[in-house]
């Protein structure tokens, strides 16, 4: 081998050797998989009894619902069968309770083919209980709207409720709840109604009644009923409510009952009109 060729071979070997000995960058470490986030805690629902029985089932709901911790109890009634059924959230008045007022209305409305659910509000008999809310959060307060809205989380778990057909109904302070509920969560309600309710003028303190401006947000078809001689909740409050519905253009009806007082919740004419209103807006 010539000297020149030997030098060329040695040079090539040196290049290859240098390449083999070149320090290599360590491989980037494989990142550890991100830990699976823990599921968000949900409220615990429990029920006792048969919702198809005469008195229905009782229930409790405790824990977070949409970021607010609730501690609620109430009544659930359903028609016989597998469903899916339309449903209604029933709201009691001052000094009442889910069982006292809502089971009576629940039996009536279950007879129409509705699942009826009700909870105790801050204005229940015996004073505020549960959560959220206290003695300053009566009627259509934010706390009671949260309570009403929480009942929908129960309906969503039952498997026999058609959540596209949910109504809301209340009497007196429960009417105030229903109005505030429809103003806040009307996209979840197909139709609403109340007896002996209404709204207060904006800027006038009456803690339990929703303000006129809040009622102006309602887009749910709404029907109201009021006795002309009501000396507990003046007719003027529902007449003011009518102006809000007129201005918004939402489908609505208002009915005044001459000579009737506050206790019109079970009036057969009232009930007949409510049922017809629900039928006209696709509940049945």
116 in a structural domain: yes
> What average pLDDT does range 12-29 have in this prediction?
35
**Does residue 150 register a pLDDT over 80?**
yes
Give the number of domains in the chain.
1
**Does residue 142 register a pLDDT over 90?**
yes
27 in a structural domain: no
CATH number at residue 69: 3.40.50.1820
Domain coverage including residue 215: 42-280
31 in a structural domain: no
* 116-131 residue pLDDT tens: 999 999 999 987 788 9
pLDDT number for residue 3: 38
Cα separation, 127 vs 141, whole angstroms? 15
pLDDT number for residue 40: 53
202 in a structural domain: yes
35 in a structural domain: no
Token readout for 44 is: 């615990």
* 101-111 residue pLDDT tens: 777 899 999 99
* 30-43 residue pLDDT tens: 554 544 444 556 88
6 in a structural domain: no
* 169-196 residue pLDDT tens: 999 999 999 999 999 999 999 999 999 9
This prediction's pTM:
0.84
């Amino acid at each position: 081998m010539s000297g020149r060729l030997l030098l060329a071979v040695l040079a090539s070997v040196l290049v290859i050797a240098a390449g083999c000995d070149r320090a290599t960058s360590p491989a980037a470490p494989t990142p550890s998989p991100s830990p699976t986030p823990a599921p968000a805690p949900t409220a615990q629902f429990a029920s006792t009894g048969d919702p198809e029985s005469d008195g229905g089932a009782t229930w409790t709901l405790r824990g977070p619902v949409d970021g607010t911790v609730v501690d609620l109890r109430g009544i659930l009634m359903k028609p016989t069968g597998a469903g899916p059924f339309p449903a209604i959230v029933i709201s009691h008045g001052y000094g009442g309770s889910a069982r006292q007022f809502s089971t009576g209305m629940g039996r009536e409305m279950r007879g129409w083919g509705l699942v009826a659910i009700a909870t105790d509000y801050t204005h229940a008999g015996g004073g505020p209980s549960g959560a959220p809310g206290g003695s300053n959060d009566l009627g259509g307060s934010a706390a009671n709207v949260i309570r009403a809205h929480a009942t929908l989380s129960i309906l969503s778990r039952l498997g026999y409720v058609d959540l596209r057909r949910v109504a809301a109904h209340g009497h007196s302070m429960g009417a105030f709840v229903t109005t505030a509920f429809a103003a806040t969560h009307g996209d979840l309600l197909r139709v609403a109604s109340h007896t002996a309710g209404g709204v207060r003028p904006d800027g006038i303190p009456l803690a339990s009644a929703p303000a006129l401006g809040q009622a102006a947000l309602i887009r749910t078809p709404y029907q109201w009923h009021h006795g002309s001689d009501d000396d507990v909740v003046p007719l003027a409050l529902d007449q003011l409510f009518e102006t809000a519905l007129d201005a918004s253009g939402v489908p609505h009806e208002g009915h005044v009952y001459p000579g009737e007082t506050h206790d019109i919740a079970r009036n057969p004419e009232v009930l007949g009109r409510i049922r017809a209103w629900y039928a006209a807006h696709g509940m049945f």
